Amino acid sequence: DVGARYPELAPIAESLADRAAILDGEVVALDPDGRPRFQLLQSRMGLTSPAVIQARVGQQPVDYVIFDLLHLDGHCVRELPYLQRRELLEELGLDGPRWRTPRYRRGGGAGLLEAARQQGLEGIVAKRTDSPYRPGKRSGEWIKERVWRRQEFVIGGYIPGEGNRANRVGSLLV
């Protein structure tokens, strides 16, 4: 349980009112342009001191991005198709100051991947709309398509490595 590390997310429970849910999502830290950056999240990970945690909340708040629904009001919904789980999730209205349920889109994956590339995002996730939720498994029913950044360089020279990097490249002149 890492809930104490992210106190700004605790009000999610209140936003559920009298509902009980188990959600699937990701804790993210956003840069000034609103893009998730793992490096920013690292400053919040592993903290245990309540005073340090509270100080970091002010410096680098986190958000919770909700992707899927596993349990609702005592009923397991993992076997329902994604579109039915998604409908149930949207009915919960989980969009708050530090959490949100992002919209989904059917089709147009290539365009979405290009939009992710242009915005400097990590990539996209595609799920089969008829697929159940399979915890702990990576199946062909959902795929993560990463944005790969590439650039070409001309190598003008190198300096051999020293010490434990002997017999290797120490540095490159690009």
* Per-residue pLDDT reduced to its tens digit, 152-168: 889 999 899 898 888 89
Q: How far apart are CA 5 and CA 47, in angstroms?
A: 6
* Per-residue pLDDT reduced to its tens digit, 65-109: 999 999 999 999 999 999 999 999 999 999 999 999 998 888 999
Q: Which tokens go with 139?
A: 């199946």
- Amino acid code (one letter) for 106: R
pLDDT at 131: 94
pLDDT at 28: 96
Q: Which tokens go with 41?
A: 């999240």
Q: What is the dihedral of CA 93, 94, 96, 100, to 10 degrees?
A: -120
Q: How far apart are CA 135 and CA 128, in angstroms?
A: 15
Predicted TM-score (pTM) of this structure: 0.80
pLDDT at 148: 85
